[in-house]
Amino acid sequence: MKTAAALSAIIALANAHATWQQLWKNGEDLESTCARLPPSNSPIEDYTSTALQCNVNPAKASGKCAFEAGDTVTIEMHQHNTRDCKTEGIGGAHWGPVLAYMGKVEDAASADGSGEFFKVYQNGWAKAPGSSQGDADFWGTKDLNYNCGKLDFKIPSDIAPGDYLLRAEAIALHAAGPAGGAQHYVTCYQLTVTGSGTATPKGVKFPEAYSKTGPGLGFSIHAPLDSYPMPGPELISSGTEATPQLLTFGTITGSPSTGGGASKPSSTKAAAPASSTAAAASATSAAAVTTPAGNATAVPTTTAAAPAQPTLTPPVVSDSFSTTLISIPSTLVTSARPKPTEGASAGSIKEWAQCGGNGFQGAGSCASGLTCKEWNPYYSQCIKGEGGSDAPSTTDAAPAPSATTPAASQPTTVEPTDDSEKTFTLNTFIAWLEENADSASAKMIRRMIEALQ
């Protein structure tokens, strides 16, 4: 049994790695235009490496993305070479916080990431009712997994105009403990921000801002949790504090809280996810109001336990390869996600954009050659190669399923490259593990196997 569990953990790991790939502006898909895409989906585990700045030798971005201070930015993470909403964004029970930093630079196209970064977004942890260990709680990466790989926040409205690097980060804690083991998934985006703000928040530098035993990093989630210390510096006063709210496929309800002033925002305590009925009544997903606040006292970085949540149904396995069972809410929450420009004409919705779902307020239909595919009652998306009508169904349907377990003889995708994806049987995977014994991924696999024995 231990051997089977260890092999399941290995397979889950091989299928879990993902990268930040796309960016959205006020619901407009900018794709990977301004993303410095990492050369692989391997996590960063070396706390002395400059890879913590913008990853290991990322590819040059094709340009810069133009934003105005106060705009909504959506960061998007997926498994290699896919934007499939029925696939978990990061997967593999890689639970942990999601963070975003910005750093002002002279030229975003040439900046190397060695300058200061200030934190503009965090989505960390909240207690799930009845959970006996942190794995079953709410986490930022669960929101990412079950919300089509997308999370929203505001470009702070008070920051000075100019070029910035936007550093998106997901931190996986499944292999972490007091001695370290956290995994960092990082991508930098090149932005040009306009506006009338004057704030130039003080920041931190990487890798110095983190240590393997630091707050929220040298941390085990495999025990009951009463709190979680957010990694890195405090959120700036005009940054966005989000409360994680998904335990299974659904959509984020409402808008995250944007800081302002010296008072503690209410979102430092986790709010209960709204029911689908309540969400439908206010599904227009109004933008969060940003109050310029200069460099006022920053938001505390320790997240408190959530108040009462909805009744949970019996637990299910969220990842078909995971050996950890998690609970899910009895009701999925809903809201409108990034959508095409209001008033768009028919046939104008681009590939991968939302085209339907409970509470969807967008207009138009999918562009020629695309079909509006319903993944669950709350999210439909324009994609290629699917049959059926362009109009999404408005009837209730089951949530999008997790990926099914492959047959024993089916090859498993591991560490895809830019040229082609490698497939492995169990024997070739063991051979790979032996050949790469000194790599960070192989070391982490061995730690997981040892923990399961």
pLDDT at 257: 76
State whether 97 and 24 are in the same domain. yes
Band (pLDDT 50/70/90 cuts) for residue 433 is low
* C-alpha–C-alpha distance, residues 34 and 40, integer Å: 18
Residue 64 tokens read as 């810069």
Q: Specify whether 298 is located in the same domain as 325.
A: yes
- Alpha-helix residue ranges (DSSP H) falling in 71-223: 140-146
Examine the fold and report which residue of 329, 356, 377 is the final residue of a domain before the chain moves on.
329
Confidence grade of residue 256 (pLDDT, cut at 50, 70, 90): confident
CA-based nearest residue to 310, from 134, 128, 125: 128
Task: Tell me, yes or no, whether 362 and 283 share the same domain.
Answer: no
Residues 202 and 94 in one domain: yes
Residue 311 lies in a domain: yes
Residue 251: inside a domain: yes
Is the pLDDT confidence value at 202 over 50? Answer: yes
Residue 448 placed within a domain? yes
Regarding whether 436 and 296 lie in a shared domain, the answer is no
Positions of E strands within 228-332? 228-229, 235-242, 257-258, 302-303, 312-316, 326-329
Does 61 map to a domain? yes
Residue at token pair 């920051």: 159
Same domain for 218 and 323, yes or no, is: yes
Q: Are 245 and 269 in contact (CB under 8 A)?
A: no
DSSP label of 152:
E
State the pLDDT at residue 349: 84
The answer to whether position 8 is within a domain reads no
Higher pLDDT, 292 or 91: 91
Do 416 and 448 lie in a common domain? yes
Q: Answer whether residue 340 shows pLDDT above 60.
A: no
CATH classification of the domain holding 277 = 2.70.50.70
Provide the 8-state DSSP code for 53.
H
| Secondary structure class of 58 (helix, strand, coil) | coil
Q: How many CB atoms neighbour CB 202 within 10 A?
A: 10
* Domain end point (choices 307, 329, 351): 329
Residue 427 in any domain: the answer is: yes
- Rounded CA-CA distance 251/288 in Å is 17
Torsion angle, alpha carbons of 22, 26, 27, 29, to 10: -30
pLDDT at 239: 98
Looking at the structure, tell me whether residues 22 and 59 fall in a common domain. yes
1 in a domain, yes or no?
A: no
**Range name among 110-124, 144-158, 424-438 with the lowest pLDDT average:** 424-438
User: What confidence score (pLDDT) does residue 129 get?
Assistant: 94
- Beta strands 326-329; 312-316: pairing state: antiparallel
Out of 277, 295, 329, pick the residue that ends a domain: 329
Beta strands in 42-158 (DSSP E): 65-68, 72-78, 98-105, 118-123, 125-126, 138-139, 150-154
Kindly report, residue by residue over 19-58, the tens digit of the pLDDT: 999 999 999 999 999 999 999 999 999 999 999 999 999 9
**Tokens coding 260:** 């302002």
Does position 358 have pLDDT exceeding 70, yes or no? no
| Overall number of domains in the chain | 3
CA neighbours within 13 Å on the CB side: how many for 322?
Answer: 20
346 and 398 in a single domain? The answer is yes
Q: Note the pLDDT of residue 247.
A: 92
Residue 351 pLDDT: 78
Residue 10 lies in a domain: no
Phi, psi of 446 (to 5 degrees): -65, -40
What confidence score (pLDDT) does residue 82 get?
A: 84
DSSP state of 4: H
Quote the domain boundaries for residue 131: 16-329
For residue 176, name the pLDDT band (cuts at 50, 70, 90): very high
Q: How far apart are CA 299 and CA 105, in angstroms?
A: 24
Residue 97 near residue 231, CB atoms below 8 Å: yes
For residues 146 and 451, what is the distance between their CA atoms, to the nearest angstrom? 27
Mean pLDDT of the 298-326 span:
38
Note whether 110 and 93 are same-domain residues: yes
Q: Are residues 194 and 236 part of one domain?
A: yes
Distance CA 82, CA 89 (A): 10
Q: How far apart are CA 204 and CA 116, in angstroms?
A: 5
> Exposed, middle or buried by CB within 10 Å (0-12, 13-18, 19+), for 236?
buried
Q: Are residues 295 and 356 in the same domain?
A: no
CA distance 341 to 379: 17
Is the per-residue pLDDT at 334 higher than 60? no
> What does the mean pLDDT of the chain come to?
74
How far apart CA 307 and CA 268 sit, in angstroms, is 11
Structure tokens that stand for 405 in this block: 């377990």
Q: Give CA–CA dist 371/391, Å, rounded.
A: 8
